[in-house]
Structure 1
C-alpha cells in the first residue's frame, strides 16, 4: 500500500465532476463513472487515453506516492498532516488551462504560482520522515539514466526526481498521446474542461490519497483543511 499527498477539489466542485466524467472514475468514492459522449472521440478512445490517470484519480501531486517507513503508521501520518495543514494559509492559483506536459495533457496554472511551489516543497521535506527508502526496483522504474543531475539527486534524497526546483504542478488528464492524435485530443479536452475553468482555483485543502492494495487504484482517504480552525466548546449547563 502506498500513500500520496495531493491537491484535488472538493467532491462537489464542478471541476471534480468534469474530471470524473472524463476519466471514468470518481477519486473520492472510487466508483467507476459512466462516460459522457464527447464530440470527436469514441468511448473506446477516451478509455484508452485515460487508462493511466484513471488509476491515480484526478489530482495534482504535491508528494509522490510512497510506502510508509517501518517506524511510522497511518494514524501518525494523519495526525501530522492535520497539524501541518493547520499552519498553512489557503491561496488561489490563476485559472487552470489544458496544456501539454511532455507527451501527456494536464491542467496547469495559466501563470506561475510561487505559493503552490512552496507548498509542494514544504510537504516533500516535512513528510520525508514517513517515506520508506526506495528499493532498487523503485529506482530503476524512475529511469535514472534519463534524469538530469538535479533530478537524479532529488530521486536519492527525496524519493522522486520531480521535486523542489524540478517540480511543476499539473493535474494529469491523459497518458502518453501520439503526435498525430494530439490536436484532436486537445480540442476534446478543451470542450470538456474550459466551461469549468473560468475562475481561479482556491487551494484550501490537502488530500491524503491511498492506493487500494498493491498496484490498485488510488482514492481520496481524507481532505485536510488549510488554516487554523477555532475550537468551539459547547457550553454545558452547570447543575444548581
Structure 2
C-alpha cells in the first residue's frame, strides 16, 4: 500500500515574481506537479540545468518548515488540513527582509539574513504544533538520515521531531540546485545571482503564508494542497 507524505512549507504566492523565478529555475510547477519551461541561467545548456536541479524539482520550490512526514495512526488528511487552516489563522507574518543567492555547502539556495530570532521561534513553534500528526520515522528513513554526520543536538532533534535541522539547527532556505561538485558551486551561484537579480525586484520579503504539500508516493513529486495566508 502506498502511504502519502505531507510537509509544511513556505511557498510564495503563485502570482509573485519570486514563485515564478523559483519554479522556472527548477522547471516544475508545484501546484500541478508538472514540468514547465526552464529559465536556464546564462552559460548553461538546458540538459545540464535539468540534471543540476533534479533533486529539488522533486519537492517543488519552497522553504521547509515541517519536513515531510507520514500521518500518525488515527490522523487523516482532512484533520491535518483543518488543523493547518486553524493554525495559520492565528499566526502573524514574519519579515525575512530580503533573500540572497547563497552557497550552502554543495548546493545553492535563497536565504534571508541570519540572526532573525522571530523567524527561528516561528519555525520551531510550527514544528512542535504539527508534531501530533507525524508518524514515527521508519527504520529505513532513520537510517537514511543517519548517513549524514549529525551533532548530538541534531541527533536529539531527529529522534524527537523526525528531522535534525529544527530549533537552533534550523536555517531558512529555498533550494535552487541539487548537490554540486565543488568546482561548480561558485559559477552556478554567480549565474543564479544574476538571474535572480533580473527576475525578482529588490525589496523586502515576508513569510506571509504557510503551504501544505502532499506527496502521493515516494516516487511522485510534492504538490501544493493548501496555501494559507497569515495576518
Same fold by TM-score greater than 0.5 = yes
- Offset of 1:188 from its aligned partner? 1.2
Q: Whole-Å Cα distance in 1 between the matches of residues 156 and 67 of structure 2?
A: 16
Distance between the aligned counterparts of 2:123 and 2:188, measured in 1?
29
Please state how far the C-alpha of 1:145 moved relative to its aligned partner: 6.6
- SS at 1:94 equivalent: coil
Runs of 4+ in 1 over 6 A off after TM superposition: none
Shift of 1:121: 0.3
Q: Which region of structure 1 is more displaced relative to structure 2, 82-91 or 107-116?
A: 107-116
2:202 is matched with which residue?
Answer: 198
Q: State the TM-score, normalized to the length of structure 1.
A: 0.91
1:179, CA displacement in angstroms?
A: 1.4
Match of 2:67 in 1: 64
The structure 2 residue matched to 1:167, chosen from 158, 170, 173, is 170
TM-score of the pair, normalised by structure 2: 0.94
CA RMSD of aligned residues (A): 1.3
CA deviations on 1:53-77 (whole Å, 9 max, x unpaired) are 1010000000000000011011111
Q: Counterparts in 2 of 1:143-162, with a 5 A limit?
A: 143=146, 146-162=149-165
The alignment status of 1:207 with 2:211, answered yes or no, reads yes
Any stretches of 5+ residues in structure 2 without a counterpart?
Answer: none
- Which residue does 2:76 correspond to in 1? 73
The structure that has the greater radius of gyration is 1
Match of 2:111 among 108, 115, 119: 108
Structure 2: distance between partners of 1:88 and 1:77: 17
Give unmatched runs, 5+ long, in structure 1.
Answer: 228-240
Q: 1:42 to 1:157 in 2, by over 3 A?
A: same
Alpha-carbon distance between aligned partners in 2 of 1:65 and 1:114, rounded to the nearest angstrom: 24
Give, in whole Å, the separation in 1 of the partners of 2:42 and 2:19. 20
What is the CA–CA distance in structure 2 between the aligned matches of 1:160 and 1:29, rounded to whole Å? Answer: 27
Aligned to 1:230: none
Q: Distance in 2 between matches of 1:15 and 1:145?
A: 31
Aligned to 1:56, what secondary structure does the other structure show?
A: coil
Partner of 2:222: 218
